[in-house]
């Protein structure tokens, strides 16, 4: 499970129970001559039998050396059975990092830590605390990776964890792919800044979400591009202010999956229909803006998840764009995560399961479906 969907998930469950307005299904949203399609070739790059084998998250950024770094949450590592094509039902590590070639995505290396378990990112030895990595960026020979800090509450069950209100950044040396340190940037007024980072002009814009009791609010901060540790400024709806308590939402939605990226001259927001289990949300949406701080409008339903098993839909979340994988056809590569079929379909048998129920899926979305101006 990844924090991008769990950090603020409980606050939206109430509204889900009592219902909410549904967006009309969008057959007319997309130009007839264009089509979103499943990229089966790229999806197959996640069907690995050694190193990282399965997991969620699947957030990436370019390392500026011909490779990108892929970041995963709870993951299976080196435990694929070649005879049965299965893995154990329980994952091995809380996070993992994989470098992948951009021109040759089959070229992949898994980078793990030295602790027990061998999670790539870990501070201390207390396994009641862990990181789920999110967005990142490369500068020189260093990759900076945002980390959400979690802790086990001891309550038992699948949701027995909570966020630690701290923003950590891991630093990884690109030439060796070794983690060389962590910075704790402290509390951020319960805003989880892990929903996109982009460079625009002289600033890095950093996106995060905060639970509002009936969904989540999307916030944005900025920092000088050449001094990431300078005081952050937060958009307050009119201007920028260093007081994080004055941060104002730039978008609100009944979901916990948000991701912002820049595409040509537009700023794009991806969200997913709310889901906490099988046969619930199935749709991925896009919005666009002319400014990095919104407003985000022009809502499009760009994909309906089709990964059914025995007629049931999976628990799905985290739609993420990967602009570095440009196919030269003005089609954005977007991944989304599935996490089994819950109570709808039994996928764990004799303590083994098919890893494909916990691997990312890949679609290609024509730019002009997102916005005709692209």
Give the start-to-end residue ranges of the domains of the chain. 3-370
Give the residue from 37, 74, 69 showing the smallest Cα distance to 57.
74
Can you count the helices (H) and strands (E) in the chain?
A: 4, 24
Residue 351's region, left for phi above 0, alpha for psi from -120 to 50, else beta, is left
203, two tokens? 């600033």
pTM for this structure? Answer: 0.91
35, two tokens? 């089509």
CATH topology classification for 3-370 = Tachylectin-2; Chain A (2.115.10)
**Max intra-chain CA distance, the chain:** 60
Give the residue from 64, 63, 62, 45 showing the smallest Cα distance to 54.
45
Q: 318 and 4 in contact (C-beta within 8 Å)?
A: yes
Torsion angle (degrees, nearest 10) of CA 116, 118, 123, 128: -50
Classify 246 as helix, strand or coil.
helix
Q: pLDDT truncated to tens, each residue of the chain (374 aa)?
A: 554 444 444 444 433 433 444 443 433 456 668 999 999 999 999 999 999 999 999 999 999 999 999 999 999 999 999 999 999 999 999 999 999 999 999 999 999 999 999 999 999 888 889 899 999 999 999 999 999 998 888 776 666 668 787 899 999 999 999 999 999 999 999 999 999 999 999 999 999 999 998 889 999 999 999 898 999 999 999 999 999 999 999 999 999 899 999 999 999 999 999 999 999 999 999 999 999 999 999 999 999 999 999 999 999 999 999 999 999 999 999 999 999 999 999 999 999 999 999 999 999 999 999 999 99
């Amino acid at each position: 499970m990844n924090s991008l969907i769990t950090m603020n998930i409980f606050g939206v469950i109430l509204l889900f129970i009592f219902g909410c307005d549904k967006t009309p299904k969008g057959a007319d949203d997309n130009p007839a001559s264009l089509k979103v399609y499943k990229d089966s070739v790229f999806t197959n790059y996640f069907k690995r039998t050694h190193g990282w084998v399965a997991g969620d998250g699947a957030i990436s950024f370019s390392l500026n050396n011909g490779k990108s770094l892929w970041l995963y949450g709870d993951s299976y590592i080196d435990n694929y059975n070649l005879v049965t094509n299965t893995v154990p039902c329980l994952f091995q590590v809380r996070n993992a990092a994989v470098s992948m070639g951009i021109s040759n995505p089959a070229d992949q290396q898994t980078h793990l830590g030295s602790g027990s378990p061998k999670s790539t990112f870990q501070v201390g030895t207390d396994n009641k605390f862990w990181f789920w990595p999110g967005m990142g960026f490369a500068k020189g020979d260093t990759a900076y990776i945002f980390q959400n800090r979690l802790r086990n509450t001891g309550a038992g069950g699948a949701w027995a964890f909570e966020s630690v209100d701290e923003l950590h950044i891991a630093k990884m040396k690109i030439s060796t792919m070794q983690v060389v340190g962590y910075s704790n940037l402290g509390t951020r007024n319960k805003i989880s800044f892990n929903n996109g980072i982009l460079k625009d002009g002289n600033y890095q814009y950093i996106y995060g979400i905060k639970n509002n009791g009936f969904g989540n609010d999307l916030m944005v901060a900025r920092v000088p591009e050449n001094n990431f540790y300078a005081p952050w400024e937060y958009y307050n709806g009119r201007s920028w202010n260093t007081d994080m308590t004055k941060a104002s939402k730039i978008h609100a939605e009944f979901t916990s999956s948000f991701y912002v990226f820049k595409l040509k001259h537009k700023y794009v927001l991806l969200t997913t229909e709310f889901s906490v289990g099988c046969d619930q949300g199935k749709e991925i949406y896009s919005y666009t803006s002319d400014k990095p701080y919104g407003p985000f409008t022009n809502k499009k339903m760009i994909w309906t998840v089709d990964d059914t098993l025995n007629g049931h839909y999976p628990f799905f979340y985290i739609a993420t764009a990967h602009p570095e994988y440009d196919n030269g056809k003005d089609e954005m590569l977007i991944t989304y995560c599935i996490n089994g079929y819950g109570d709808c379909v039994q996928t764990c048998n004799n303590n083994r399961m098919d890893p494909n129920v916990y691997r990312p899926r890949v679609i290609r979305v024509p730019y002009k479906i997102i916005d005709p101006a692209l």
